[in-house]
Amino acid sequence: MAIDPNNLSATAALTFSEEFDTFDTWNGTTGLDTVGAAQWSTKIRATGTLPYNDESQYYVADADGAVGAANSLPNPFHVADGALTISAAPADPSIQGSLEGQTYTSGMINTYHEFSQTYGYFEMRAELPAGHGLWPAFWMLPEDGSWPPELDVMEMIGSEPNTLRNTVHSQVSGDWKVDDTHYLNEANVTVSDMTSGYHTYGVDWDPDTITWYYDGQPTFQAATPADLNKPMYMIANLAVGGAWAGDPDASTPVPAQMTIDYIRAYASAPTASAPTDTFHFRDASTGDDLYTTSTSERDYIAQNLPSYIDEGVAWMAPAASADTMDVFRFVDTRTGEHFYTASTAERDHIDAMLPSFRDEGVAFQAYADPALAGADALTVQRFLDTATGEHHYTAGDADTVAFEQAHAGANWVHEGLAFTVHAPLSGTLDF
């Protein structure tokens, strides 16, 4: 099923969460990496420095920036108030000999050892730095060390804080051909100022399509390339300089800071069980309404109780979940009337005070909050005949209005909403 970034609780399951209450780096078992993974160590440099992009930063490993580290490199990582700040700054000439020729220090984190996933929704909430020559990014690479593919959730250059770049790289397909083994699809999207505070950057990657999001709103969509079908790990970094971002100048803040509130990943939630047909019978002799989701009970009634007329499918009852509640069924052994309630208090009162009513247990499910039923919601109203004690149920506004008009001035009292279910896909609504 598709993941909705604005309704993750219902459409997705959290698979990874880095909230930065602490900053735990890879210890052989858990933690984030601060050095490059497979692609970096074989194609570029283990530090993650990218000389062929003409970038100016050297990515300092967490251990290199620790207090008392042998090479005395500045630590670009700082955690406070549940957020990680990555700082980029010019390197003092005294340490440039340890920076592989680079003139800035900065930081990169990735989940290469700790987490990778095929398909899903991936999101970072971050505050990005403004300034010429700055290049923050949140992106993904294959766990197996291949390249491409590459999935860039977001890139921005500090001199263009309203331009968000979304890109997917592939060896096999794309709108733009770089060379025979490198294609890409990308969009430069105008958004609100990304340096004006925290914003969310997400991508929903599924087998057929990739959809990018900014603050929960879609910004770009592309077909999923055939080679983007393997586990990917996540990377967040603050690059400096390069052919695209340009060199820092006198207006570039020192230090420049990218602050990350969280990085999370989700898998698509299992498809919920389909709603269940609820069958309706009416006793022609008494007017009793009987509802059941049991096909065996339906068949028994049809074969053995000739006074009960099959009215078809009344509604669809949702599958049991955290969003639903039980609807209980009673039968009055004196009259044969069936009674339904979603109220546990009413159920308990009947059990305690009305011995002629036999408790038949849970009949079906309904929504605890009517708003959760969605576009095909069907509200069932309950009426009481004060002269006979008989109850009647109407489904939907039109049926309720029709019943009220037909019984105006009679003994019927509208007892209000009984429960909310789904409209049927087939059958009748002849109540």
> pLDDT tens across 180-203, in order?
999 999 999 999 999 999 999 999
| Residue 1, pLDDT above cutoff 70 | no
Q: Which of 47-56, 156-165, 176-185 has the highest mean pLDDT?
A: 156-165
Query: Which band of pLDDT confidence, cut at 50, 70 and 90, is reported for residue 31?
Result: very high
When the pLDDT of each residue in the chain is averaged and rounded to a whole number, the result is: 91
CA end-to-end distance (rounded Å), the chain = 35
* Residues annotated as part of the active site: 150, 155
Q: How far is CA 129 from CA 152, 194, 197, in A?
A: 18, 8, 9
> What whole-number distance in Å separates Cα of residue 247 and Cα of residue 254?
14
Between residues 142 and 10, the one the model is more confident about:
142
Q: Which of 279, 369, 377 is nearest to 321 (CA)?
A: 369
- Domains of the chain in start order, with CATH, are 8-268 (2.60.120.200), 276-422 (no CATH)
Q: Does the model's pTM come out above 0.85?
A: no
Mean pLDDT along residues 152-175: 96
Confidence at residue 430, expressed as pLDDT on a 0 to 100 scale:
36
| Residue 120, pLDDT above cutoff 90 | yes
Give residue-wise pLDDT tens across range 257-283: 999 999 999 998 766 567 889 999 999
Query: Which band of pLDDT confidence, cut at 50, 70 and 90, is reported for residue 43?
Result: confident
DSSP H or E stretch at residue 155? strand 150-155
> What whole-number distance in Å separates Cα of residue 167 and Cα of residue 163?
13
| Residue 428, pLDDT above cutoff 70 | no
> What whole-number distance in Å separates Cα of residue 163 and Cα of residue 153?
13
The residues near 116 (Cβ < 8 Å, ≥ 6 apart) are 143, 231, 232, 233
What amino acid is encoded at 114 in this protein? E
Confidence at residue 69, expressed as pLDDT on a 0 to 100 scale:
66
Between residues 269 and 413, the one the model is more confident about:
413
Confidence at residue 271, expressed as pLDDT on a 0 to 100 scale:
60
Alpha helices per DSSP H over 227-332: 295-304
Percent of the chain with pLDDT over 90: 75
In this structure, of 76-80, 186-190, 315-319, the range with the lowest mean pLDDT score is 315-319
Mean pLDDT along residues 9-31: 91
Q: 3-state DSSP call for residue 286?
A: coil
Give residue-wise pLDDT tens across range 237-254: 999 998 899 999 999 999
